[in-house]
Amino acid sequence: MARRVFAVAAHPDDIEFTMAGTLILLAQVGYEIHYLTITNGSVGSKVHGREEIIRIRREESRASAALLGAIYHESLVDDIEIFYEKALLLRVAAIMRTVAPEILLTQSPSDYMEDHQNAARLAVTAAFCRSMPNYITDPPVPPVDHDVTVYHGQPHSNLDPFRHPVWPDLYVDITDVFQDKLQVLACHRSQQGWLDETQGMTSVLQTMQAHARELGRMSGQFEYAEGWRRRLHLGFCPEHADPLADALSACVLRATGQ
């Protein structure tokens, strides 16, 4: 069975901002990469109408996934419509069973906006239900009996919504692939003005670079890093399973406590 990693995030460009470096490194060691943004980016513009920005952002995401060497899965709902509810969960669960990942990378369960939080909740529950034969997905996909280890990325600014610091369990050194990460994020050209106007990110590329540099500083060892917290194993995998750290052992630092 192929080793697979499934990246699940809320919006087009979230995967690139939070986890692209780790994905590039996993692809280098033989993992098959799968890519899903739950929303289609429908509200991410003050210039283009809904249908036009959906088209643009889909093209940007597909171009980014191609650079990552990832298998692209179509988005499911509009922006600001990621709710933790049955109909959407059934659809995410169907994709989760189809992919059957060994590693699930998703967003922080505590981030600055609820689309991010709900994307993480949906991904986690979909993984939890992967092997339940009486849980019928939409469309129906047979259950899969395999272990999956869940990792949550860092929230924006490394802070929770109440401004408390969030520290990773694992730091992944992305210094050698940082330029590749910049390249895949740069595919999302439509977001440069939007993020400046709505969220104060003068340049999303510069903001991402500052975020990766800050994680590198937090590690005490790397120039640029991505950070991960491994979810409790119950319902997912053996207690000590840590395939991300095992696969990338040469460039992973386990945190020793803050």
- The pLDDT, as a whole number, for residue 199 is 52
Evaluate whether 19 touches 7 at the Cβ level (below 8 Å).
yes
pLDDT of residue 14: 96
CB 105 within 8 A of CB 66: no
Reported as a pLDDT band with limits 50, 70 and 90, residue 250 is: very high
pLDDT in tens, 32-76: 999 999 999 998 777 888 999 999 999 999 999 999 999 999 999
Q: Calculate the average pLDDT of the chain.
A: 94
Give the amino acid at 191.
Q
Amino acid 46: pLDDT: 78
Q: Is the dihedral of CA 171, 228, 244, 18 positive or negative?
A: negative
pLDDT at 48: 87
pLDDT band at 196 (very low <50, low <70, confident <90, very high): low
- Locate 169 and state its tokens: 């369990």
Number of residues in the chain: 258
Give the tokens for residue 108: 């922080």
State residue 204's pLDDT score: 82
Report the alpha-carbon distance of residue 34 to residue 44 in Å, rounded. 23
Nearest Cα neighbor of 70 from 5, 146, 141 is 5
Rounded to the nearest 10 degrees, the angle between the axes of helix 178-185 and helix 14-28 is: 140
Domain 4-254 CATH (choose: 3.40.50.10320, 3.40.190.150, 3.20.20.70, 3.90.78.10): 3.40.50.10320
Question: What value does the mean pLDDT take over residues 113-142?
Answer: 98
DSSP string covering 67-122: HHTEEEE---B-TT-----HHHHHHHHHHHHHH--SEEEE--SS-SSHHHHHHHHH
Q: How many CB atoms lie within 10 A of CB 47?
A: 11
Instruction: Tell me the whole-structure pTM to 2 decimals.
Output: 0.95
| 164-180 mean pLDDT | 97
Q: Where do the structural domains in the chain lie, given as residue ranges?
A: 4-254
Mean of the pLDDT values across residues 118-123? 98
Q: Facing residues of 252 across strands? A: 172
Is omega for the bond preceding 109 within 30 degrees of 0, making it cis?
no
